[in-house]
């Protein structure tokens, strides 16, 4: 690649990131990574990326784990600690090792965030990190006869203090440790701390930087997006599996909990992918699994602001003759008939409903899904939504005109009918040259 091409690629990449930069500014993201990440040679890259998010105006709360470091400390002291329900039983005499390990990890992170040598990505970053007694804990207690001693649960998150620090553009760093009103120290699961913090802060995103490759489907393919019922179905199916999926199960469980608690988006990204955080947040499709609280990702009625986005989506399809040409003026008039699916500020699908009261018939028009997002059921989602709207308006049948998508409609309960069957107003506009086929579906 020559210099000019390199410049073009750079400029075009930067421009494509611009909408995400605008969208994420001022938002609160809670990011969790395990103690394994801190040990890895790629850790400075992750820290650079986190510092960059801060420079781009993201309010950052970091939660770190320290499992391998605690294990190492205990090993050094020749202490074997027991596990039950995948949780460490922390005896009183283990606590000095836990405190030492967690303290060391926290200092390592702080030191990395303090770097600022010239000619490094951290040059000029000057990140201010704050840690503190933000997490109140209580004992996890006795389960099935096992006393977990100093292993604890999150009781309360001091959101006011955290928010104050975020307001001052500080990065808040939280360790998997909690304090109680009795003055005790508890060993907590970092995933729980991150999840409870995200819920308490009403964070815009909770991001789990995972050790494995993400949530995969039956054939080992990465699942890019799951809504809450899908995440729950995955957990039901894989819940009984042993070790292999344990991290994914635990993170997905927490993701579902966060969604139920009001966090709109939870990302599970792999630490194995260099720059996964930036790819996930500043490109359209990311590299990990997004768990969303919504059933229909971004499906909503259109507004006048969507006209540009809809035109961008449908213009190429109009050129190909798949859709009838619509002028901007016409779109402006019809915009409130449109339903759209928006993803990260881009309109990726649309459809419109027009009703003919006299004939109690409704038209499904301008159904389009952006090429990159087809074959994931979005066409179906839109059609079902339009059908639902038509039913709500007491329409008796739904019809559509198509030139190249006949089978798609046939497979969804439509049958071919004659142009003569169209409502009078529509018939008068029927374009015989276009020679579209008419498909109808009764609405019971
Ligand atoms: C038709 C369209 C809306 C479907 O969107 P989508 O989100 O991919 O739809 P779904 O995911 O629900 O359905 C995908 C299925 O439809 C099939 N399909 C897509 N286009 C088709 C066509 N022209 N004819 C028949 N089947 C088609 C796919 O092969 C896939 O089938 P599979 O499940 O057996 O693999 C989309 O392909 C599109 O925008 N096409 C261009 C515009 C257009 O033709 N609009 C209709 C105007 S009347």
Residue 372 Cβ inside 6 Å of ligand 1? The answer reads: no
Extended strands (E) in 221-377: 225-227, 265-270, 289-292, 299-301, 338-343, 346-356, 361-369
Contact 398, 412 (CB under 8 A): no
The rounded distance, in Å, linking the Cα atoms of 324 and 434 is 9
Residue 403 Cβ inside 6 Å of ligand 1? The answer reads: no
All structural domains of the chain: 3-292 (3.40.1160.10), 299-442 (3.40.630.30)
Q: What is the pLDDT of residues 115-166, one digit of tens each?
A: 877 777 877 878 899 999 999 999 999 988 889 999 999 999 999 999 999 9
Q: What's the pLDDT at 121?
A: 80
Q: What is the pLDDT of residues 318-356, one digit of tens each?
A: 998 889 999 999 999 999 999 999 987 889 999 999 999
Residue 307 Cβ inside 6 Å of ligand 1? The answer reads: no
Distance 374 CA to ligand 1 centre (A): 7
Half-sphere exposure of 333 (CA within 13 A, CB side): 5
The rounded distance, in Å, linking the Cα atoms of 138 and 148 is 11
Q: What's the pLDDT at 260?
A: 83
Token pair of 156 as six digits = 């309360």
Q: What is the pLDDT of residues 93-123, one digit of tens each?
A: 999 999 999 999 999 999 999 987 777 787 7
Contact 191, 251 (CB under 8 A): yes
By C-alpha distance, which of 225, 265, 251 is closest to 238?
A: 251
The rounded distance, in Å, linking the Cα atoms of 269 and 290 is 9
Residue nearest to atom 28 of ligand 1 (CA): 375
Q: What is the pLDDT of residues 180-231, one digit of tens each?
A: 999 999 999 999 999 999 999 999 999 999 998 788 888 888 888 787 778 8
Q: What is the pLDDT of residues 26-65, one digit of tens each?
A: 999 999 999 999 999 999 999 999 999 999 999 999 999 9
Q: What's the pLDDT at 261?
A: 85
Q: Tell me the pLDDT of the chain averaged across its residues.
A: 91
Q: How many CB atoms lie within 10 A of CB 31?
A: 26
The rounded distance, in Å, linking the Cα atoms of 93 and 89 is 11
The rounded distance, in Å, linking the Cα atoms of 3 and 6 is 5
Distance 378 CA to ligand 1 centre (A): 9
Residue 367 Cβ inside 6 Å of ligand 1? The answer reads: yes
pTM of the complete model: 0.64
Residue 352 Cβ inside 6 Å of ligand 1? The answer reads: no
Confidence tier at 385 by pLDDT (50, 70, 90): confident
Residue 321 Cβ inside 6 Å of ligand 1? The answer reads: no
Confidence tier at 278 by pLDDT (50, 70, 90): very high
Q: What is the pLDDT of residues 361-382, one digit of tens each?
A: 999 999 999 998 888 788 988 9
Residue 166 Cβ inside 6 Å of ligand 1? The answer reads: no
Residue 5 has pLDDT above 90, yes or no: no
Residue 400 Cβ inside 6 Å of ligand 1? The answer reads: yes
Residue 240 has pLDDT above 80, yes or no: no
Distance 370 CA to ligand 1 centre (A): 10
Residue 359 has pLDDT above 70, yes or no: yes
Q: What is the pLDDT of residues 289-313, one digit of tens each?
A: 989 876 556 788 999 999 999 999 9
What are the backbone angles phi and psi of residue 428, rounded to the nearest 5°? -65, -20
The rounded distance, in Å, linking the Cα atoms of 183 and 125 is 36
């Amino acid at each position: 690649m020559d210099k000019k091409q390199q410049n073009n690629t750079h400029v075009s990449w930067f421009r494509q990131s611009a909408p995400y930069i605008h969208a994420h500014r001022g938002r609160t993201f809670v990011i969790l990574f395990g103690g394994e990440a801190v040990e890895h040679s790629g850790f400075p890259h992750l820290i650079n990326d986190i510092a960059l998010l801060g420079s781009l105006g993201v309010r950052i709360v970091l939660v770190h784990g320290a499992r391998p470091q605690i294990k190492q400390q205990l090993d050094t002291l020749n202490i074997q600690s027991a596990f039950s329900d995948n949780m460490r039983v922390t005896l009183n005499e283990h606590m000095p090792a836990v405190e030492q390990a967690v303290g060391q990890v926290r200092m390592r992170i702080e030191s990395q965030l303090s770097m600022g040598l010239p000619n490094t990505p951290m040059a000029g970053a000057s990140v201010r990190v704050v840690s503190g007694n933000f997490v109140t804990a209580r004992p996890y207690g006795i389960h099935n006869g096992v006393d977990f001693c100093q292993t604890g649960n999150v009781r309360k998150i001091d959101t006011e203090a955290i928010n104050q620090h975020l307001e001052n553009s500080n990065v808040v760093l939280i360790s998997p440790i909690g304090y109680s009103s009795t003055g005790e120290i508890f060993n907590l699961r970092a995933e729980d701390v991150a999840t409870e913090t995200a819920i308490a802060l009403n964070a815009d995103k909770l991001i789990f930087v995972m050790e494995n490759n993400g949530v995969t489907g039956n054939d080992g393919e990465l699942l890019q997006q799951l809504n809450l019922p899908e995440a729950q179905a995955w957990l039901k199916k894989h819940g009984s599996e042993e070790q292999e999926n344990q991290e994914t199960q635990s993170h997905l469980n927490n993701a579902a909990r966060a969604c139920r608690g009001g966090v709109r988006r939870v990302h599970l990204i792999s630490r194995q992918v260099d720059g996964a955080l930036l790819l996930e947040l500043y490109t359209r499709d990311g590299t990990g699994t997004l768990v969303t609280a919504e059933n229909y990702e971004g499906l909503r009625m259109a507004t006048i602001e969507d006209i540009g986005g809809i035109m961008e989506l449908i213009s190429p399809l109009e050129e190909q003759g798949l859709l009838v040409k619509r002028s901007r003026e016409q779109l402006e008039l019809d915009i409130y008939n449109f339903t759209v699916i928006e993803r990260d500020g881009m309109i990726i699908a649309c459809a419109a409903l027009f009703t003919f009261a006299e004939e109690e018939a409704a038209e499904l028009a301008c159904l389009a899904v952006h090429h990159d997002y087809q074959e994931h059921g979005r066409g179906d989602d839109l059609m079902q939504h339009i059908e639902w709207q038509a039913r709500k308006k007491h329409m008796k049948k739904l019809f559509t005109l198509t030139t190249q998508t006949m089978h798609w409609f046939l497979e969804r309960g439509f049958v071919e009918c004659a142009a003569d069957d169209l409502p009078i107003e529509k018939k008068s506009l029927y374009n015989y040259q276009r020679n579209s086929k008419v498909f109808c579906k009764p609405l019971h």
